[in-house]
Structure 1
Amino acid sequence: MSGIAPYIMALCRPATGSVFGADGMPLDGALDANIAIACDAIARAAGEHGARLVVFPQFAMTGYTPLGPEAWLGAAVTFPGPEMERLGEAARKAGVYAAVQIAEKHAAFPGRYFFSVAVLTPEGEIDLAYRKNYSLSLRTSPVDVYDRFVETFGHAAFLPVLDTPIGGLGVTIGAEPHWPEPIRAMALKGAEVILNPVAAMQGIDYLNRPGAELCRPVRAFENAVYFGMANIAQGELASQAWDYEGRPIGAAVSEEFHLSTIDIEALRRARSQPAGNLLAGMLPQIEEDRSALTLWPSNAFGDAPPAGFAAMIAVETQVRERLQALGRDHAPAPEPTS
């Protein structure tokens, strides 16, 4: 049986612009122009750099903006749809896998939008669609429409993994690596390369917590996976990749491309060594079933999207208060008065 030859992963930062005008609504033709830039980048990643896997940042197709649902719905696309077909055709011509983050709308969820990633194949098809689960945002989180999401896509769509001739691919968006559970779940489903589109405009963490810089190499190490973080071109933080031991790999060859070598067979050999695969040493039988805890609820916004951040913070507050009532968390003491 022949193995998987090492290949190039290109983390791409195309110089796309915002699709939103001064009134906060999408500009005619702006999304099409950004998609044309991305299609060209796919062709050059393969043709000039020999890439087999291309990863675009979060908001690369639209630009980043703190606008509300109406604006994002105006810029959202469907999977499949004409915009994704153009990107798929570029992936087909280049013979690559391409991970593209974009706002997605779906007929089963009227008035809502997801922040989603489509993994396009060398055949030009969307073979994996991932919708962002974690972090507070006015976009719809799949768990907040849990029942309808499962009815529409199936439970496996929460954390999908795509088995390909270049290894198992999984996706996590933005700050989701701050939670270890989803990447561990994908690794246990066969993920060997985790793709992480981000839009870190200043630092990697908007709360400036130093530990956030450790999360991605730690996720790579603890799950024995490659990890590729592609940051938006306007962001100060460079794109970066790590190998299955948490070691930084690759280098930027231009402002647009960071290239690294993915050696799946080396990963598999490392996982096969005694004590080399931390997944094989897991002891789930000694852990508590977290699904029985009163954590973030299913269907928290099943009837309507959250009216604003205050609605989501209210849910988070209720969860913390329930944990405190169970003795699983503790409220801080009152601030001393002067």
Structure 2
Amino acid sequence: MGRSISPFYAASIQFNPRLNRREENIDALYEVVRRAAESGARLIVTPEMATTGYQYRDRKAIAPFVDTIPGKTTRRFGEIAERYGAYIVLGMAEADPETGLFYNAAALIGPGGVLGKYRKLHLWAAEETWACPGDLGVPVFPTEIGRIAIMICMDAAYFETARLAALRGADILAFPTNSSGQTVTLLQDRARSNGLYIVGANRSDTEEGFRMVGASALWSPRGELLAATPYRADPEQKRDEPTWIAARIDPALYANPAKERLKERRPELYADLLLHRGSWGFPADPPRRIAVAVLQYEPLPGNKAANLEKVRKLLGKAAFPDSGQRLIVLPELSLTGPARGLPKERIRRWAETASGFTVREMGRLARMYRASVVFGLIERRGEALYNAAVLLNPEGEIAGIYRKAHLEAEEKRWALPGNELPVFPTEELGRVGLMLGEDALFPETAGVMAVNRADLVVIPSAFREGTGCERVRYPGQAAEPVGMIPWDTIARDVQSPVVVANFVGTPYRLQGRGSVYTPRQDGESTRVWSASGEREEVLVARFRTLRERGWFNQEKLNATRRTAFYKPLVFPEGTFPPDL
């Protein structure tokens, strides 16, 4: 498809409607949409609830301002679409003519009229007073400029929404929003991990005490910020005039590595995504105060003794506090280093059983430092080899072994994939989820850990330059430390701390940046501790595992998931088991 469509421009409309003034809003919005279309934009996206404003106390309050899709409002904007050959995504309050129910919705209007609509799946508190949750799933609409899907505001906080769009073949994800910061700061990774262009349109004003931050933006499938309005978090800032930004969409990028990576998913491991594990019968673990030492070094290939000595020297520099639980995290394949390109027989010689040299030596370190330890090794089970991560308790006993489920192409030459995504219960750390390397590129892995209430996620890695990238700040956004995606996003998708260890150097240009991410109570960012990208060092950080407060946390995430619509993540569409 990408080779037969010429590049074009897409536009994001930043517009601040006023409550209870639908006709005035439509007139003003019509004018700015018309100007964007007149300038040549083929795709135009407006904010969420752009014709009505957002904060309505109940169905009675919003009833005079809803409209059907199709209806009067879509016909009006259809004039622009027809005149200029454009596609318009219009955020609006919808009334279903058959049921009388109301939805927070968006219409897709093309040159020939309404092509379809999307109803917001994941509602926020403000619209729960009048809107029903969406019941259409995540449809994808074929057009002359590509396949377009839509998600609205809070939908972005759930990885499943964008993933469903990608699995159904979307090229572009339109994103009408009224965001206070959380959802717009997730778009870079939603674009990059799913290989989608994202066109986000936000407001930049305060309505009934709720501040919307602007940061309307267009993102490429590579996670590049193509255009953006400023991030305006200060409620004292004046109300912006309507404006729009545009960027060039290149359909040649509709086919991309992230789309190819969809073929490497392991749907047979994702069934837990369909569980709805709210607060019923699931008491939270008590919070733990944890001090973690993240070790970062350049491995000597296959030299277990020399690499072990590096580990010991780094730990000698770690200043653990006297109180709290201790955790030591090493990179993937900790004492051998990566095995890329090596003969399979040499890799087999490096392999060990779960009672071998590496486990014994790490057990000694666990007892010496009274710490839990997570490390990686080439595990031998009979004739089979696995890329494995091992969790030891402070007594040096094995608390869990995870075998990497998502292998990179080179690893498939020597390793079998694991067939579980476990979360291990421990006395010291709570419930611990383990990933390895490329697992982080599959958001389903984090989703399973969220469902199974991981208190902590640990990711030994050996990632190269280009595997991750820094989270991009919007213009005007606070200059605080930013994390690396996808690991920063995993902390937000699981709503628990994430610890990543990585090597530096080697001919593979390993990227370093061992780090710790903890979700903030505001839901809009993570706190980040990070090592360098090139030095051997130990990073020590202290954090708490459970966030009981805050408007968004793991319990609320699980309570508000819309699992009935997630089946395509686990089963190819049209082949669902009849009992699901």
Same fold, TM-score > 0.5, yes or no: yes
Relative contact order (C-alpha < 8 Å, sep 6+): which is higher?
A: 1
Structure that is richer in strand per residue: 2
Pairing partner for 1:138 from 102, 125, 129: 129
- In structure 1, which of residues 29, 38, 57 is the aligned counterpart of residue 29 of structure 2? 38
Q: Supply the AA of the counterpart residue of 1:219.
A: R
* Paired AA for residue 133 in structure 1: L
Q: CA deviation at 1:276?
A: 6.4
Question: Structure 1: 5+ residue runs without aligned partners?
Answer: 21-29, 144-148, 150-156, 206-211, 296-318
Segment of structure 1 superposing worse, 134-143 or 51-60: 134-143
Q: Which has the larger radius of gyration?
A: 2
Instruction: Say which SS state the counterpart of residue 43 (structure 2) adopts.
Output: strand
Of Structure 1 and Structure 2, the greater helix share is in 1
Q: For residues 71 and 152 of structure 2, what CA distance do their matches in structure 1 show?
A: 21
Give a deviation string over 1:71-124, Cα, whole Å, max 9, x none. Answer: 1222110112122211112221122100001111113333x310000010012x
Alpha-carbon separation, structure 2, partners of 1:139 and 1:280:
40
Are the aligned partners of 2:175 and 2:198 in contact in 1 as well (CA < 8 Å)? yes
Q: Give the corresponding residue for 2:198.
A: 227
Q: Deviation string for 1:154-199 (max 9, x for gaps)?
A: xxx3111101111111111012111001211111111111111111
Aligned twin of 1:260: 247
> Relative to 1, partners in 2 of residues 1:330 and 1:79: Cα closer, same or farther, differing over 3 Å?
same
Cα 1:276–1:236 change in 2 (3 A) is closer
> Among residues 182, 187, 191, which one is paired with 1:216 in the alignment?
187
Question: Secondary structure at 2:263's aligned position in 1?
Answer: coil
Please tell me whether the aligned partners of residues 118 and 126 of structure 1 are also in contact (alpha carbons under 8 angstroms): yes
SS in 2 for 1:127: strand
* Structure 1 residues 175-194: aligned runs within 5 Å: 175-194=154-173
User: How many angstroms apart in 2 are the aligned matches of 1:120 and 1:171?
Assistant: 12
CA contact (8 A) 1:57 1:197 kept: yes
The aligned amino acid for 1:277 is E
CA shift for structure 1 position 70: 1.0
1:322–1:330 CA distance, 2 compared to 1 (3 A): farther
1:324 Cα offset (Å)? 4.5
Match of 2:268 in 1: 285
Aligned residues: 274
Check whether the contact 1:42–1:94 (CA below 8 A) recurs between aligned residues.
Answer: no
Which residue identity lines up with residue 92 of structure 1 in the other structure? E
Q: What is aligned with 2:75?
A: 85
Shift in Å at residue 17 of structure 1?
2.7
- Contact kept? 1:134, 1:141, Cα under 8 Å: no
Instruction: Note closer, same or farther for the CA distance 1:80–1:198 as it changes in structure 2 (3 Å cut).
Output: same
1:119 aligns with 2:102: no
- Residue correspondence of structure 1 range 139-154 to structure 2 within 5 A: 139-142=130-133, 149=135
Tell me if structure 2 keeps the 8 A contact 1:142–1:158.
Answer: no
Q: Is the 8 A contact 2:148 2:174 kept in 1?
A: yes
- Superposed CA deviations along residues 237-261 of structure 1, whole A, max 9, x for unmatched, are 2211110011111255996011111
**Which segment is superposed worse, 62-71 or 100-109?**
62-71
Classify the secondary structure of the residue corresponding to 2:36: helix
- Runs of 4 or more, structure 1, over 3 Å off, are 139-143, 251-255, 322-325, 327-335
Where structure 2 has 5 or more consecutive residues not aligned to the other structure, the ranges are 206-211, 231-240, 285-424, 426-451, 456-545, 550-580
- Identity percentage of aligned residues: 25
Q: Is the CA contact 1:46–1:96 (under 8 Å) kept in the aligned structure 2?
A: yes
Over 3 Å counting, the alpha-carbon distance change for 1:330 and 1:45 in structure 2 is closer
2:52 and 2:548 map into 1 onto residues whose CA distance is: 44
